[in-house]
Chain A
Amino acid sequence: GDSVTQMEGPVTLSEEAFLTINCTYTATGYPSLFWYVQYPGEGLQLLLKATKADDKGSNKGFEATYRKETTSFHLEKGSVQVSDSAVYFCALSDGRRSNYQLIWGAGTKLIIKP
């Protein structure tokens, strides 16, 4: 079945460093892809999404490009801040084929040190 694999955390970076969190997926259809973020003590929030191949989702300085040829949706940010410390989840949704159920990665904890 469909699945999502994320790089294991925690990922620890210094402020202003470049961030990449890898996400790859397996799907037989044409899924939409998402990154969600969970700040400490809160629920998950949608960070960005891409609904078809070569789409780039972006928000709050974060970007991810839907790469069908490599089945990837890596999250990037050019200069991270302490406030970006959170857990990041990659997910896919394949609409009616999977009855709209979201498939989740395990989450990657990001720690940014000042």
Chain B
Amino acid sequence: KAGVTQTPRYLIKTRGQQVTLSCSPISGHRSVSWYQQTPGQGLQFLFEYFSETQRNKGNFPGRFSGRQFSNSRSEMNVSTLELGDSALYLCASSSLTSVSYNEQFFGPGTRLTVL
């Protein structure tokens, strides 16, 4: 079974631009979560989509948005980029076959650098 894939792996943008990152979950997984990882703030939860609906949301400004398609693939968009948005963006998928816990499978991440 193929793992979680993220594209692109690396991106360089300038302040004020916008960016779209893509995530393809493991086949059959309907939940996709996005995280931002920086050296200073650690791993921070952005949002989670389940069956095309945003189900959970972290504490990020409205410049960060996402969506999920009917095939469970997900995209996240960051508009009006700021220097502080430079980070590793991780996507994780889950099948949610257990009602008691959420085991997530991560992609390799997209490294975004904002100049």
Q: Residues of A with Cβ closer than 8 Å to B?
A: 30-32, 34, 36, 42-46, 49, 51, 89, 93-96, 99-102, 104, 106-107
Contacts and interface: CB of A to CB of B under 8 A. Distances in A.
B108 A42 contact: yes
- Which applies to chain A's interface (DSSP): helix, strand, loop or mixed? mixed
B64 interface: no
A95 B99 contact: yes
Given A100-B96, A104-B45, A107-B42, A95 B102 contact: yes
Contacts of A31: 101
Interface of B: 4, 31, 33, 42-43, 45, 48, 55-56, 90, 92, 94, 96, 98-109
Contacts of B106: 36, 43-45
Given A43-B90, A99-B56, A93 B102 contact: yes
B55 to A, nearest CB: 6
5 contacts: A36-B106, A89-B43, A95-B99, A99-B55, A106-B43
A60 B85 CA distance: 35
B92 to A, nearest CB: 8
A100 B108 contact: no
